[in-house]
Each structure stands twice: as structure tokens, then as C-alpha cells.
Amino acid sequence: MARRRLAAVFAHPDDDTWMVGGTYLLTGDDLELTVVVATSGEAGLIADASLATRETLGEVREREELAALDAGGQAGADVHFLRYPDGGVASADREELVGRIAEILAAARPEVVVTFGPDGGTGHEDHIAVGEASTEAFHRLRAAAGEGGAFRALYYGSLPQSELDRWFEGMRARGEEVDPDAPFMPRAVPDEMIAVRVDTRGVAERKLEALLRHETQSEEIGGLAENEHDLLAAESFVRAWPEVEHPSGPFATSLFDGL
């Protein structure tokens, strides 16, 4: 059977691990993966001063991304670090950003492209800018590709509202304050917008292992409470193209269903 071709285009090291790390594991050797990371995450957390300095963090996080891909069964992925300033992607030249992404995707010819939706998943400006640029690059290439096996679907990694509600309920039950409008808090979409829901329960522990390869970010990852492991049990996606008003019938269970 031919290998499936997937391109993941995100803003920071660890974004793709969160969004599609379970899909990486489930598809395994049958996946031909291209990963585009717009920034090196140099403005991010440093969980332990022995891991990095502010000056070395970008380089360290690039290594962590490669280690996470290794742990996720995708050591052979074609990885591109664009090295835009962390926190500055929205200020970058838009045409240049779209062009660089399009050049990589044109060479890879993925069947499926996954990126951020309009809200960036958390409202982060880098996420939003990368999602917009990736969407534009996808449609340029799709229009030029004609018939064939490339650029057949565009998906946005998304969180269903019901899942976010359960997460907030768990936080409140532990006595934690919840401010849904705080910077970089997860954003959700109505459940009916979800077209694909990948059951990742069988690889949840391995996905967590891959996430923990992002050691500098372990304050966010290692502190997952038990009920928050539900966040690792599924990966959900809105289908941006071909457009649908809402899914009909049951969810698709793979990004490659119907291709």
C-alpha cells in the first residue's frame, strides 16, 4: 500500500506534537511526513535552567522537536524550521511567509495539510498567522495541481467545545480558577464543526512520552492532571477544504478517510 503523505504546518516546536502526535503514532511507517515550524520557540518557557538559556533556547527547542518526532515514530520526517521570530510571525512579510510554506509543500505534494484554524487554537498571533499563510499556500497549490493525489484536503487542528468544557470543569473541581479569556487559553469550536475525530487512546501514553521530549516546556506538559489525560485520548479536526457546513453521519476516524 502506498504511504500516506501528510504535511503539518505550525508555529512552534511542540504544536504539532499536541495536534497530530497521536496520528503520527497510529500511521507509523505508512506515513510520509513533512513538518514546517515557523519559529523556534525562543520566547517560550525554560522549565529548568540547566536545559537552556534565553540565547540557546531556540536551538534547544529545535532539537526537542526532532526528539519528539523520534518518540512519535517519525524520525525520518522532513522537518523545516523557518526561524521567524517567536512572537513576530504576524509582523513578517506575508507574501514571503506564504511563499516559503508553498515552496516546501510543492516539493512534498502532501495529500493532506494540517495547520491552525482562524482562532489559532489559543488566540496566539503566531498561530493565527501561520494558519492563514498555510491556508493560502494550500489553495494556491491546489488550484495549480489539477488532478492527482496531492492537496486533497486541508484540516484545522481543533478542540471541540464539549471537551474544553470538561477540562474547565476538572480545573474548577480541583479548586483552580478558570479564566477562559486569559492569554493563550485553549479556544474551542462547536462540536458539530468537527469532521474528523481520531481515537488516540491506544497511543496516549506514547504521545505523552513524545510531548515530554519537549523538556523545556515540561511545566505545561508534565503537570497534566489525571482527568486532563482525556486531552490525549483523541485528536479532532475541522475540514477546511473541501468545505462542509457540518459533518453528516458519524465522524471520520482518520485524516485520510475517503481519499
Cα distance between residue 200 and residue 164, in whole Å = 17
Q: Would you kindly state where each structural domain of the chain is located, as residue ranges?
A: 4-159+190-241
The yes-or-no verdict on residue 237 having pLDDT over 80 is yes
pTM for this prediction? 0.94
Among 29, 40, 38, which Cα is nearest to 64's? 40
Instruction: Enter the CATH code of domain 4-159+190-241.
Output: 3.40.50.10320
According to DSSP, the residues that pair with 34 across neighbouring strands are 7, 78
The yes-or-no verdict on residue 11 having pLDDT over 70 is yes
pLDDT tens per residue, range 112-147? 999 999 999 999 999 999 999 999 999 999 988 876
What burial class does residue 87 get, using C-beta atoms within 10 Å of its C-beta: 0-12 exposed, 13-18 middle, 19+ buried?
middle
Axis crossing angle, helix 57-71 with helix 15-27, rounded to the nearest 10: 20
CA dihedral 62, 66, 72, 77 (to 10 degrees): 120
For cell 495536534, name the residue.
19
- Residue 174 neighbours by CB under 8 Å, 6+ apart: 225
